[in-house]
Amino acid sequence: MQNLKVHDISNASGETAHDHVARNPGIALDMDWVMRARANRSAIERRAATLPGRRSVKKDYQAAWLARAISLMDLTTLSGDDTTGRVLRLCAKARQPVRADLLEAIGLPDLTVGAVCVYHDMIETAVDALKGTDLPVAAVSTGFPAGLSPFHLRVAEIEESVKAGAKEIDIVISRRLVLSGDWQGLYDEMKAFRVACGDAHVKAILATGELGTLQNVAKASLVCMMAGADFIKTSTGKESVNATLPVSLVMMRAIRDYYEATGHYVGYKPAGGISKAKDAVTYLALVKEELGDRWLRPDLFRFGASSLLGDIERQLEHHVTGAYSASWRHAMG
């Protein structure tokens, strides 16, 4: 991890068009491949347990990795009491995620997050607030978070969100299809959602905490990628168990296997429960080791985050000044 310093960071708005990989077009459902998928829980948990215990990166290297984490965030508000004012503050934070003096001090005055993620009703507010930037608006869809509304309404919701200006759609799969082993049904559902998204990128939320086994996570990951998912995502953030390192390892290895077999890139998004800067660095280490440096860019990796940014900003202030500050000094808007 240590081969990255602050001056090496490129942020979301700094990526040029040719930096972005081609979308995953999907492939025909390969049931033999799906049924071969395995997950050795004990080995996976041993591997995941080695990551947090390692000595952390320090000084300029740590600042670089934390700045990279910011550039990979889907800054998110998904609450029943969301208001126009809250979304406007979130978008202001997305445009300038860290206090200007700290960004100047680390040499990244133009650093931004990767995207802003909201419910459908807040898409137009977010799009208007982000005019003049390259920041995309992502919308959760398909009856988020449960995904149990009628199928035609879930498809229509995607289409309405795209029409409203969302460039990315985070869909939720029907967990029952995984739990009952209906892989053809899951493939067909994901395929329909991909078509409804049109030019908007689609992130498939697996809700891994509700899938029962790591083997189910591996199989669901493969099926969604075969059906054309641009990203696979751990969680809605509303489940009792959200992103974990073992689940992330399983999903990343499925992405790697899919890339090696097809040549198609698929992104990864852990969401829910990642609130500390040190945890973000651990996830980035896992991405680097399992998938490689190319996945450490906004078109192939995102954090689903709401509170993570505040802790990273505190760590960056410590890097610049040598002192920790109170959280109120780094408001969300």
> Helices (DSSP H) in 238-276: which residue ranges?
245-262
Stated as kind and residue range, the H or E segment containing 320 is helix 308-321
Integer Cα distance of 215 and 209 in angstroms: 12
Integer Cα distance of 123 and 308 in angstroms: 22
Amino acid at 150: P
Retrieve residue 138's tokens.
Answer: 């992502």
Asked if 172 contacts 146 with a C-beta cutoff of 8 angstroms, the reply is: yes
Asked if 67 contacts 114 with a C-beta cutoff of 8 angstroms, the reply is: no
Report, as residue numbers or ranges, the catalytic residues. 170, 233, 269
Retrieve residue 281's tokens.
Answer: 């660095």
Retrieve residue 296's tokens.
Answer: 């450490």
Amino acid at 325: S
Of 231, 228, 273, 286, the residue nearest 255 (C-alpha): 231
Integer Cα distance of 186 and 192 in angstroms: 10
Integer Cα distance of 107 and 28 in angstroms: 46
The C-alpha torsion from 26 through 27 and 28 to 30, rounded to 10°, is: -110
Asked if 37 contacts 250 with a C-beta cutoff of 8 angstroms, the reply is: no
Asked if 142 contacts 154 with a C-beta cutoff of 8 angstroms, the reply is: yes
Asked if 160 contacts 120 with a C-beta cutoff of 8 angstroms, the reply is: yes
Greatest C-alpha distance within the chain: 56
